A and B are shown apart, each in its own frame.
Chain A
């Protein structure tokens, strides 16, 4: 893991993470979003994507960061719904829809994070237990499959 981190750090990380859409400057975003990006998303990106092992671990981390970004956007929208103008019943309906979307996103993030934790736990077990080099998941040959014990 240390070797991996060092090798990643040597290849300097991009100044602007690639999950940020092109043409969007951090300075032009609202203060709330800026705070979330600096305080939550950038550290998550560094830890889960830049420092992750290439392959499954990295793509899982990237999915989680994207979900976090969407969640941040959704939360901002939720705040705007409360402050917004318009008919109260319409506003409430919109607000309910936003809450439902936010909950779905949070659920998705939990599932992806859960998978990543399982990967970490498995790798940790291999590293400490049998002294193996790392995680290698290999599909069982079709004719060879055995039921889990």
Chain B
């Protein structure tokens, strides 16, 4: 099928070169970096858009010129999003695990207050627990002995 729209055949090799560059500076682009769109004016005419990859190294801003291809810019944006999403995601995962650890401690304290204990997420010690419905029955053993 004939493609009627404009196809930039240089996008693929350009993208590979930029991808190599980004991956070789992974430590920088995992945290920051974005594709910036800009225009310029020449003899009263607005030209653009032009795309560039902006990032900072040691506090100094640097740019990697991408050209005018929207397709290339979108692909670079996608790559950056993917890399940075991974980092955000692993941070969320770490925080969630830390929160769960704290939560388990609290749960353990509450379990201990009624004479139960946990191993992993399994609650143990039912046999040593008496369930009462009122303080007056505190010393009586329940009918079932277990929950």
**Chain A residues within 8 Å of B, Cβ to Cβ:** 19, 21, 24, 28, 30, 55-56, 59-60, 62-63, 66-67, 69-70, 73, 76-77, 80, 107-109, 111-112, 115, 118-119, 121-122, 126, 130, 132-133, 135-141, 144-149
- In the complex, the answer to whether A63 meets B103 with C-beta atoms within 8 Å is yes
**Cβ-defined partner of A56 (8 Å) among B99, B110, B132, B139:** B110
B75 on the A face (CB < 8 A)? no
**Chain B residues within 8 Å of A, Cβ to Cβ:** 85-86, 88-89, 92-93, 95-97, 99-100, 103-104, 106-107, 109-111, 113-116, 120-123, 126-135, 138-139, 141, 143-147
- In the complex, the answer to whether B100 meets A70 with C-beta atoms within 8 Å is yes
- In the complex, the answer to whether A77 meets B110 with C-beta atoms within 8 Å is no
- In the complex, the answer to whether A21 meets B96 with C-beta atoms within 8 Å is yes
Q: Contacts A67-B100, A139-B114 given: A130-B133 contact, CB under 8 Å?
A: yes
- In the complex, the answer to whether B107 meets A140 with C-beta atoms within 8 Å is no
CB nearest neighbor in A for B102: A66
CB B87 to nearest CB in A, in angstroms, measures: 13
A140 to B116, CA, bound (A): 11
A112 to B110, CA, bound (A): 14
- In the complex, the answer to whether B134 meets A132 with C-beta atoms within 8 Å is yes
Name the A residues within 8 Å of B92 (CB-CB).
21, 24, 73
Q: Contacts A63-B100, A63-B107, A108-B120 given: A140-B129 contact, CB under 8 Å?
A: yes
A85 to B104, CA, bound (A): 36
- In the complex, the answer to whether A56 meets B133 with C-beta atoms within 8 Å is no
